[in-house]
Chains A and B, each alone.
Chain A
Amino acid sequence: MEGGVSQFAIIFSLATVAMLVLAGFIILFVVFYQKKMIEEQLKRQQLELDFQQKMMEATLESEENERRRLAGDLHDSVGGMLSTIRVGLTTIAKRLPDPQVIEQSKQMLDDTLSSVRRISLDLMPSTLEKFGLVPALRELCDRFQATSLLPVNFREHGEIGFIETKRALKIFRIVQELINNAIKHAQASVINVDLFGEEQLKISVEDDGVGFDPSAKHSATQNGSGLGLYNMENRTRLLNAKLDFDTQVKKGSKITLIVPS
């Protein structure tokens, strides 16, 4: 009887310990397995994000290359041919008894030539590649001012460090789109572009126009109607930068691009 009781006690203790160990094992397994699974899921998501970012970068780069090619063709080929035609017209005018008859055609040709140069510059700012971001932005403001007859003031504060051309081109495109939007939609009387170069590069485009509803910005990006905005946000993401919208309806707007150095 005594032996049977102690045998029972041993079996009972072992069974209970086994159950407790099993319970502990299940709990630990759940903790580690689900942690491992989530980490793998996060890794997969990160890979997908990286892939999307690379795709976006490749799309924007091919877009820029196409613009560069088009700008080159326009400037060198069309522009060159138009210049040759102009020389020809001048030569013909010298031989004519009344050179004034082709003066109107010459004027039209000059306008076409400047249009081609402007489009070519818009497509690919050669100043950016030759002299860097700040002169390119200054030139951009001057050009916008000349074409829109709206004061576009460019102000530089502090020292602006060197920015790699690819990054500078993205910043340039964002500022170009911001000024373009201000001219097209804001009904502004003045546009100020301020460049701050301290620890990080800050560029603000401010206007005194009608402003806009910030929630409309979000819906425009969502439904695809704001393509310019969508591209701007993509470029901002690729720059690892931040686009800060400070706007209210009828109170103008100030949009700041903050680029980490």
Chain B
Amino acid sequence: MTIQIYFYLTIAQTALSAIVAIAALIRYRFRSSIVKLIGFVFLTGFLANAASFGMLSIKTMRIFVNASYPIYLIIGLALYSRIYYVILHKKNPKWFALAATTFTIFALINLFFVQKTAPNSYSYIFFSAIIIIYCLLYFYVLIRDLPSLYVHHLPMFWFNSALLVFHAGTFFLFSFQSYLINVLKNSMLVYWSFHNMLSIIEHLIVLVGLYYDLRLLKSQAPSFKSVFKS
């Protein structure tokens, strides 16, 4: 594993974030609030990656290269909390607000006082744990409500599967990140490339969900043209 391959994977992941954001935000007026929020999450991801690349290219800023990710995590979790609050029938808003607020406070304390400019792995672990709980809750509601015979036609099913696969796959990676950085320095690229590959898979699964959403949009709206004309 060379640093070059690692960079290619990171660039591919960043490009996919942009593609997902565009696919989720085109025809903005007709998209559901969930898809719009998904678009904003991936837009934030893309901007965080782009900011990291930018800071990496400026010598004096290199020290802050990891700072953009905790910000992405804070915004991301607020958006995901909103998504799952809506998708889980808008029940118990306090729990979602509590999760988002607690995480924000935790991530800020971690950023400013604990891990500072080092990769904020504790925030990642917390973030992944909350997302995994959200994903499991959504699947529970899905098998309780039985909304469709063909569950794979639901865009949210794909979004949820993508998040579950990515966060389940990277949970231990984030959990042992400090150990990996300090002890397994030589294998670090392998582990982090694995993270990037999982992230690419996550993006591709989300794109499948967006494909179904666009298909649904096409079948539901008799004519976009007429709306645009008016």
Contact = CB atoms under 8 A, between A and B. Distances in A.
A35 B151 contact: yes
A16 B195 CA distance: 11
Interface in A1-58: 5, 8-9, 12, 15-16, 19-20, 22-24, 26-27, 30-31, 33-35, 37-39, 41-42
Contact of A19 (B146, B148, B150, B172): B172
A217 B176 CA distance: 70
B165 interface: yes
Given A27-B161, A34-B151, A5 B184 contact: yes
Given A8-B184, A12-B176, A30-B151, A23 B146 contact: no
Interface stretch (B38-46, B97-105, B136-144): B136-144
B169 A20 contact: yes
A20 B172 contact: no
B106 interface: no
Nearest to B183: A5
B109 interface: no
How many of chain A's residues touch chain B, expressed as a range? 20 to 34
Contact of B136 (A12, A26, A35): A26
Contacts of A12: 172-173, 176
B179 interface: yes
A36 to B, nearest CB: 10
Contact of B139 (A19, A20, A22, A26): A26
Contacts of A15: 172
B149 A35 contact: yes
Say whether chain B's binding surface is mostly helix, strand, loop, or mixed: helix
A81 to B, nearest CB: 64
Given A30-B143, A34-B142, A23 B151 contact: no
A26 B151 contact: no
A19 B169 contact: yes
Contacts of B165: 20, 23-24, 27
Interface centre among A8, A23, A35 (most CB of B within 10 A): A23
Contacts of A34: 142-143, 146, 151
Given A34-B146, A38-B149, A23 B179 contact: no
How many of chain B's residues touch chain A, expressed as a range? 20 to 34
Say whether chain A's binding surface is mostly helix, strand, loop, or mixed: helix
B143 A22 contact: no
A6 to B, nearest CB: 10
A26 B164 contact: yes
Contacts of A16: 169-173, 194
B187 A9 contact: yes
A10 B157 CA distance: 32
A39 B139 CA distance: 18
A35 B150 CA distance: 7
Contacts of A31: 151-152
Interface centre among B136, B151, B170, B194 (most CB of A within 10 A): B151
A39 B149 contact: yes
Contacts of B152: 31
Contacts of B148: 38
B168 interface: yes
Contact of B169 (A23, A26, A27, A33): A23
Nearest to B149: A38
A211 to B, nearest CB: 30
Nearest to B140: A30
A37 B169 contact: no
A19 B171 CA distance: 8
Nearest to B194: A16
Contacts of B142: 30, 34
27 contacts: A5-B183, A5-B184, A8-B179, A8-B184, A9-B187, A12-B173, A16-B170, A16-B172, A16-B194, A19-B168, A19-B169, A19-B171, A20-B165, A20-B168, A23-B165, A23-B169, A26-B136, A27-B161, A27-B164, A27-B165, A31-B152, A33-B143, A34-B143, A34-B151, A35-B151, A37-B146, A41-B146
